[in-house]
């Protein structure tokens, strides 16, 4: 009585080991796509917990396995197929190699992969892994010679200079980004509750020029103030920590905090980024399938990733 039926056949699911059954890309030098799913199981974990989110990328592939035959069907989140006929599809580049001990090597591998992808005018969608994964991605975007706005969607502000003796861990992501000359603006959305940050970290962020919109702000005033803060024509790096969403829909994360954003609030912010500017890189991080509940979290995050792919495909087709 405890066995759950596999309902994938109901949707015509086929065997696939890629996200949404997308084509594999095993050589980034020859990538040809609108965007690329790139798994990054680990970058710079803290010694006390290790690579706790290493299974995040594959959990999203598994969550979309039942829809591998439905990639051309109508996606109501996008108003049409995920990839309309006049757009390029995304590809799945698999997971990057990683070490449990050589964190500098992990960062180098992530950075080099991002540089190769953006050189081909493909938007990377980096799937973590904990929230240290974006640091080398953000750094690598400097290779384009462009300036960027970061739109961070996260329950935590990540402005620690160091935590547990580590300066490139998940609590320092936005602090490290602020030190990069190609990062011109940072908008942080969804902060709430208690994290590892001190009041002095928040004050440092304010002094740097960060525009904060807390979880309470969003529920009280809506998304318009955030969207208005995104400069027209800007190049945007989306940093999405899934604990920004309410834990009732993303329990698959280590940093569950009450009062989070809804699925459609996050989707609207992604759409607004593409409308106001140009999405240049994306990460989804802090995905920990071991604490998910009946696959609810993987369901929500995988659908957001699929929608983001469709948004980027349309952005490039219209650009």
pTM given for the model? 0.95
Q: What is the pLDDT of residues 13-62, one digit of tens each?
A: 666 789 999 999 999 999 999 999 999 999 999 988 999 999 999 999 99
Residue 185 domain flag:
yes
Q: Which whole number is the average pLDDT over 221-248?
A: 98
Domain holding 292: CATH number?
A: 3.40.800.10
pLDDT tens readout for residues 111-130: 999 999 999 999 999 999 99
Which tokens hold the place of 299? Answer: 């369901």
Measured between alpha carbons, how far is 92 from 287 in angstroms, rounded to an integer? 18
Confidence of residue 229 (pLDDT cuts 50, 70, 90): very high
pLDDT over 70 for what percent of the chain? 95
Q: Give residue 273's pLDDT band: very low, low, confident or very high (50, 70, 90).
A: very high
Q: Is the pLDDT of residue 216 over 60?
A: yes
Whole-number Cα distances in Å, 28 to 40, 57, 110: 15, 18, 12
- Average pLDDT score, the chain: 95
Q: What is the pLDDT of residues 259-271, one digit of tens each?
A: 999 999 999 999 9
Residue 316: per-residue pLDDT: 85
Q: Is residue 5 part of a domain?
A: no
In-domain check, residue 4:
no
Q: Is residue 41 part of a domain?
A: yes
Structural domain includes residue 1: no
Compute the distance between CA of residue 199 and CA of residue 17 in angstroms, rounded to an integer.
44
Query: Given this model, what pLDDT does residue 146 score?
Result: 98
Confidence of residue 285 (pLDDT cuts 50, 70, 90): very high
Q: What is residue 317's predicted lDDT score, i.e. its pLDDT? A: 81
Q: At residue 1, does pLDDT exceed 50?
A: no
Q: How far apart are CA 120 and CA 193, in angstroms?
A: 40
In a domain, 2, yes or no: no
Asked if the structure places residue 3 within a domain, the reply is no
Domain range enclosing 304: 10-318
Environment class of residue 268 by beta-carbon count within 10 Å: exposed (0-12), middle (13-18) or buried (19+)? middle
Q: What is the pLDDT of residue 318?
A: 77
Number of domains in the chain: 1
Q: Which of 61-70, 205-214, 222-231, 235-244 has the lowest mean pLDDT?
A: 61-70
The pLDDT value recorded for residue 209 is 98
Distance separating alpha carbons of residues 300 and 146, to the nearest angstrom: 32
pLDDT score for 4: 66
């Amino acid at each position: 009585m405890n066995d759950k039926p596999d309902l994938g056949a109901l949707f015509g699911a086929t065997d696939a080991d890629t996200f949404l059954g997308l084509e594999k890309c095993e050589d980034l030098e020859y990538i040809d796509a609108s965007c690329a799913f790139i798994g990054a199981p680990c970058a710079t974990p803290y010694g006390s917990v290790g690579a706790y989110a290493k299974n995040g990328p594959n959990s999203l592939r598994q969550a979309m396995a039942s829809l591998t035959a439905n990639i051309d069907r109508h996606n109501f989140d996008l108003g049409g197929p995920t990839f309309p006929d006049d757009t390029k599809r995304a590809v799945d580049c698999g997971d990057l190699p990683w070490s449990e001990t050589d964190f500098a090597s992990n960062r180098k591998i992530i950075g080099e992969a991002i540089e190769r992808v953006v050189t081909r005018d493909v938007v990377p969608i980096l799937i973590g892994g904990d929230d240290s994964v974006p640091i080398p991605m953000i750094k690598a975007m400097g290779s384009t010679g462009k300036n960027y706005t970061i739109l961070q969607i996260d329950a935590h502000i990540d402005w620690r200079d160091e935590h547990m003796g580590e300066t490139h861990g998940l609590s320092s992501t936005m602090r490290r980004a602020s030190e990069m000359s190609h990062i011109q603006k940072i908008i942080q959305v969804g902060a709430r509750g208690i994290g590892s940050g001190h009041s002095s970290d928040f004050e440092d962020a304010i002094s740097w020029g960060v525009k904060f919109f807390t979880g309470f702000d969003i529920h009280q005033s809506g998304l318009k103030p955030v969207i208005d803060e995104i400069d027209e024509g800007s190049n945007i790096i989306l940093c999405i920590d899934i604990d920004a969403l309410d834990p009732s829909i993303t329990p698959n994360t280590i940093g569950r905090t009450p009062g989070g954003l809804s699925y459609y609030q996050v989707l609207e912010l992604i759409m607004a980024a593409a409308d106001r500017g140009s999405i240049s890189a994306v990460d989804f991080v802090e995905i920990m399938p071991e604490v998910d509940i009946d696959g609810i979290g993987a369901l929500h995050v995988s659908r957001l990733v699929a929608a983001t792919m469709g948004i980027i495909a349309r952005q490039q087709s219209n650009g």
